[in-house]
Each structure stands twice: as structure tokens, then as C-alpha cells.
Amino acid sequence: MPVYNDNKRFLFRPEDRKLITDGLYSSATKLKFNLIAGTSTAGIAWAVLLADRFADIPFVYVRDKPKNIELRCPIKGIDSEDDLRGYKVLLVEDLVHPKSSSAREVQTIRDSKGDCINCLSIFNYGFYEEKNLFKNLNPPCDILSVLTYDTLIKLAKENKYITQEQEKALAEWRSDPFNWGTKHGFPKVDKK
């Protein structure tokens, strides 16, 4: 792919953490929740920073799959015999994409009796496939993102961070992201 979003790099610089946490906080203030959950592992730091901003909101994190020693509870921060009954949970992820585990983690929260109808991320590509994953949950879960691919490209163009040739490559990738690499000489990688 001609563009890669690595939100983990923003953890290093305090000013970047603050900027992103401000964006998450601004989005979260429009929602109703009484518990913040982070996705394992990329969403944990951002969810903790957001929970600290709210001060009186509890925090847990959700494993995408439990370890052998944790067969009972993939929700970390509660006892294995407890559940999330009575909690309206805001799930925080760094990046939502079609292969992310976020939709499964929403279901894990629901399986633990939590009410989760919102997933807040720093970034998402806006693929039809990712929207469908969340839309097909019962009930559907909304994805809210501080930044989307389309906005990123628009701002990059307006601020002259990309050339017209790069913009063309990014538009071509956006129209066919799963075949772009092979069209440009990159071998197809099949991850199982």
C-alpha cells in the first residue's frame, strides 16, 4: 500500500499524545457511556489516556482471544466471575480496518453482558468491509474516528504534502486496495 497509518508512533511525543487524546475526548463527549474499554494491544494506551481525561470512568481492556490461562474472561480489569452488566461501554481502538479485531471485541463485550454500540478510533480507512462488520452486529455498532482516510488525503493535498502523482497513486489504491500491490509488482501475502 502506498500509505500506512502507524498510531503507535504518536505515543512517544507528549504533544502528539495530547493532540490525539484531545480528539478522542472531543468525540467521546458526544456519547453516553460509563466504562471505557481498550482493544488489545493497540487501543489500550489511548483508552487509558481517555479514561484518565474523564477521571471518574472505569477502564478495562479486551483481548481479541483469551490466553490459555485466561479461559474464563477475555475482559481484563474485572474478576473472571464478573461481567459488564449495567455498563455502557465505549470501545477505543487505534485503527479500524477490515482485518482488525474491533468488531469481535465489541461482541466479546456484549457476551460479557456489556452494552457496546460505539467504537471510537484514531483512524479508519472507511472501507465498505469494515463498515459492514460493525453494521452487521446485532445491534449495529457505530464507528467514530478522529481522522479518516479521505480527510487525511484532502488535508495532505491542501497542505501540499503530496504531489499530484502521489495523489493519483493514493486514489488508485483507495479504489482497489486489495489488488493495488500486485498491480504494482508486490507479491500477494496471504496471512492466515
88-118 per-position pLDDT tens digit: 999 999 999 877 789 999 999 999 999 999 9
Can you tell me the distance from the alpha carbon of 123 to that of 7, in angstroms, rounded to the nearest whole number? 8
Mean pLDDT of all residues in 127-131: 85
Q: In what order do the strands lie in the sheet with 35-39?
A: 75-76, 59-62, 35-39, 88-96, 115-124, 142-148
Q: Is residue 34 part of a domain?
A: yes
**pLDDT at 64 exceeding the cut of 80:** no
In the structure, what pLDDT confidence band is assigned to residue 124 with cuts at 50, 70 and 90? Answer: very high
- Type of residue found at 165: E
pTM for this entry:
0.91
**pLDDT at 148 exceeding the cut of 90:** yes
Bridge pairing between strands 75-76 and 59-62: antiparallel
Can you tell me the distance from the alpha carbon of 43 to that of 39, in angstroms, rounded to the nearest whole number? 5
Question: Domain with 68 in it: what CATH number?
Answer: 3.40.50.2020
In total, how many domains does the chain have?
Answer: 1
E-state strands within the chain: 35-39, 59-62, 75-76, 88-96, 115-124, 142-148
Spatial CB neighbours of 52, under 8 Å, sequence gap ≥ 6: none
| pLDDT given for residue 107 in this prediction | 94
| pLDDT given for residue 88 in this prediction | 98
Q: Is residue 172 part of a domain?
A: no
Range of the domain at 61: 7-148
In the structure, what pLDDT confidence band is assigned to residue 192 with cuts at 50, 70 and 90? Answer: low
| pLDDT given for residue 35 in this prediction | 98
Q: Is residue 130 part of a domain?
A: yes
